[in-house]
Chain A
């Protein structure tokens, strides 16, 4: 349904209805603002990010394959623009933004291989608490941006692993692996925070 609405708007725009592109801008600004803010935090910077993103979308709209999902294509451009900004502004090495998981952690590998259900990784009780939103927001700041984005794309934006793979330009297996490592990383941070809170 979403795909057909977006593709209709694109088809109308390419036929000359410029109002359709304005509708796309409004729709995706509204739907993805929270995602962008979760990385950038500053409204004026987010506005610049969106300007760059929509400019790139407009420049490449004729090349967009309408058989594909516009949402994943849009997220691909948006996250690349966000990460380009983060790389320029950050003193952290580039590798911190790509993958964020070297796979050298033996303990992580063992845990990942033994867990059959991803939901077992995260501490359940934490998510039942009222302050879970605050805690998880803080915890997400302590994991790498690339791990954070996988979790946000999966849980907030309801993309499946195949779609996330299209956004990130990665295979499904790589996405699943990064997703599980992200859950592990988040779990560690949440447990540490919980322990500090209790102390």
Chain B
């Protein structure tokens, strides 16, 4: 008896789709996936470009501050008159520490890091490739 009931119900849901329906569904899904990837590429490439542009002034000002600081002058002293520096190593070390433009160096470091990450993200978005779903 259960067999007859099942048979009846199976006939009720026996209708099959046209073959082209699956093709259309796969195509639609493929288009959606590709659109989503393109949107992501645009978003991340834009973020990457913004990061590069934003880091440029930081690099410039940090670099300028570093160059204009006394740090390199004292560093050149080590190279030109090493013996005198070594005999007063304690004072020299203290002067060097005081002259290091930490904020400028930090700004420079952060700027370089942001620029590298931004370039990497942009390159991945531009050149990263995945296959479309094939029919």
Binding site for B on A (CB under 8 A): 18-19, 21-22, 25-26, 29-30, 33-35, 37-38, 46-47, 50-51, 54-55, 58, 119, 122, 124, 127-128, 132-133, 136-137, 140, 151-152, 155-158
Residues of A within 8 A of B132 (CB): 18
Given contacts A26-B22, A37-B15, 7 further A-B contacts (CB under 8 A): A18-B131, A25-B22, A30-B22, A119-B1, A128-B4, A133-B11, A155-B8
A122–B4 CA distance with the chains assembled, in angstroms: 11
- How many Cβ-Cβ contacts under 8 Å join chain A to chain B? 91
Say yes or no: A38 contacts B12, CB within 8 Å. Answer: yes
Q: Does B95 contact A (CB under 8 A)?
A: no
Say yes or no: A136 contacts B22, CB within 8 Å. Answer: no
Chain B proximity of A32: nearest CB distance (Å): 9
What residue of chain B has the Cβ atom nearest to residue A151's Cβ? B9
What residue of chain A has the Cβ atom nearest to residue B28's Cβ? A51
What residue of chain B has the Cβ atom nearest to residue A124's Cβ? B1
Say yes or no: B8 contacts A133, CB within 8 Å. Answer: yes
- From A22, A38, A46, A156, give the contact of B26 (CB < 8 A): A22
Say yes or no: A54 contacts B6, CB within 8 Å. Answer: no
Q: Does B76 contact A (CB under 8 A)?
A: no
A19–B30 CA distance with the chains assembled, in angstroms: 11
A30–B23 CA distance with the chains assembled, in angstroms: 12
Interface hits, B3-58 → A, CB 8 Å: 4-6, 8-17, 21-22, 24-26, 28-29, 32-33
